[in-house]
Amino acid sequence: MDEESVTRLVREFGSPVYVIDITGLTDRFESFQRTARQLYANSEVAISYKTNPTAALLLKLHQFSAFAEVVSKPEFDLARRLGVAECEIVFNGPAKNDGVLRDAILGGSQINCDHFDEIKRIEKIATSENLVAKVGLRLSLPTKGHFSRFGFSTDEPLDRSEAAMIARYVVDSKSLSLGGLHSQIGTNVRDLDLFRHQGACLATFAEFLKSVFGVELSWINVGGGLASIAPAVGTDDATPLELPDVGDYCKAVYGALKNYLSNCKNDPVLFFEPGRTIFGPFGATLTTVLGIRPSAHNRNAAVICDAGVTAIPLSSQFDFPVHVPSRKSMMETYDFCGPTCMQRDQLANSRTVPKLEVGDSILFYGTGGYNIALANSFINYRPGIVGWDSAGRFEWLRKPETFDSMKDLHMADFTE
């Protein structure tokens, strides 16, 4: 984004504000979907709502027939309000309440179960509705370097594993049927070998289900996990990393599952649930310099910004790249702080950028995944979100919070 665009953005929408590159985001989604389907026609991409639950943005992705991946009743309700049919919702997560589970069962959502108590609740609901609920099992896989506290353990020997016991319970139940397998090996993963290993573990368990119970699955869901562009804090000089190629990723996963999938009679659906890799690279947070504190105690000069860790909470984990849209040639090294009175409200340290003055704009980019979802209104209200397209147009996706929009939260008995 050049200096003119940024000036226009601040003039029309204020600061701080989140900006989403709509064209970049939808192109990445489309290319993910196309690549997955070229490899295996029965592939679906479900969009991870928690990663960026901006309704106007999700609607744009649903125009490309994205499924919704949700992990709570609020997210399930949001998908329904956006017009997504229950049967195009993938329902994950460890805490699904009975009311929403009933809606999901009756509507034919893909329900991936996290633990045994949840399975028993689903069985009870299905029995009371006199129907058979198709469920998936989330597997906790022994993927290298990764431990997942979610799902059923597949520790060897496989036939004595927790996942095998649960599969038997589901197969024996009159009100349940075994529909699929799910797993999520981590997040911000760059090592494709981990995804190959995930695919291989899922294939092994799927073959086990076929040979022991005669079950052929309706879906295999490999979750999300693919990386974005921001380096982890402390790993290097905050140069953005390359965005992983979706073709390489899909080939890694599909390659490991190909034999199983092609030997099934009923063409199971292969599901992907990308989040960070779709949203992360195409979001930025625009903030304005409020003041510059001179260097002291051998530290760099500190730039006080009008957005801080409450707007970009993941800045404690990632070195989001900084872009200063300025033609000034003199460079300076700064630390960047937020506007709150918390000591830890620090966005970035030791970044060299064109010399700054009060009122200058700064873009932290690569912030489109999880930050908007995790932002909070501690001390300040949450910023609005603006969409930016390839024709250079801006539009509100969500307006900023204001005293009026938040007054119900301020005081229950508020009167004018």
Ligand X SMILES: Cc1ncc(COP(=O)(O)O)c(C=O)c1O
In the list 224, 231, 268, 368, the residue contacting ligand X (rule: CB under 6 A) is 224
69 binds ligand X (CB under 6 A): yes
Contact 291, 57 (CB under 8 A): no
Distance of CA 39 to the CA centre of its chain: 23
Least distance CB 274 / ligand X (angstroms): 5
276 binds ligand X (CB under 6 A): yes
Q: Which stretch binds ligand X (CB under 6 A): 2-10, 77-85, 96-104, 217-225?
A: 217-225
Q: Which stretch binds ligand X (CB under 6 A): 190-198, 254-262, 272-280, 376-384?
A: 272-280
Q: Which stretch binds ligand X (CB under 6 A): 196-204, 224-232, 299-307, 384-392?
A: 224-232
Distance of CA 109 to the CA centre of its chain: 20
Q: Which of residues 84-143 bind ligand X (CB under 6 A)?
A: 92
Least distance CB 97 / ligand X (angstroms): 18
52 binds ligand X (CB under 6 A): no
| Residue whose CB is less far from ligand X, 274 or 281 | 274
366 binds ligand X (CB under 6 A): no
Least distance CB 228 / ligand X (angstroms): 8
Rounded distance between C-alpha atoms, residue 283 and residue 91, angstroms: 26
184 binds ligand X (CB under 6 A): yes
Q: Which of residues 280-339 bind ligand X (CB under 6 A)?
A: none
Sign of CA dihedral 18, 315, 47, 30: positive
Cα Rg of the chain (Å, integer): 23
Contact 277, 248 (CB under 8 A): no
Rounded distance between C-alpha atoms, residue 367 and residue 110, angstroms: 30
Contact 270, 43 (CB under 8 A): yes
Helices (H), 315-392: 371-374
Sequence-distant contacts of 146-149: CB under 8 A, at least 24 apart: 146/185, 146/186, 146/194, 148/183, 148/184, 148/185, 148/186
| Residue whose CB is less far from ligand X, 92 or 110 | 92
Least distance CB 29 / ligand X (angstroms): 12
Helix (H) / strand (E) containing 409: helix 403-410
| Residue that has been written with the tokens 């599969």 in this structure | 167
| Residue whose CB is less far from ligand X, 14 or 240 | 240
367 binds ligand X (CB under 6 A): no
| Residue whose CB is less far from ligand X, 224 or 325 | 224
In the list 88, 114, 273, 306, the residue contacting ligand X (rule: CB under 6 A) is 273
Residues that bind ligand X (CB under 6 A): 48, 51, 69, 92, 184, 187, 223-226, 273-277, 369
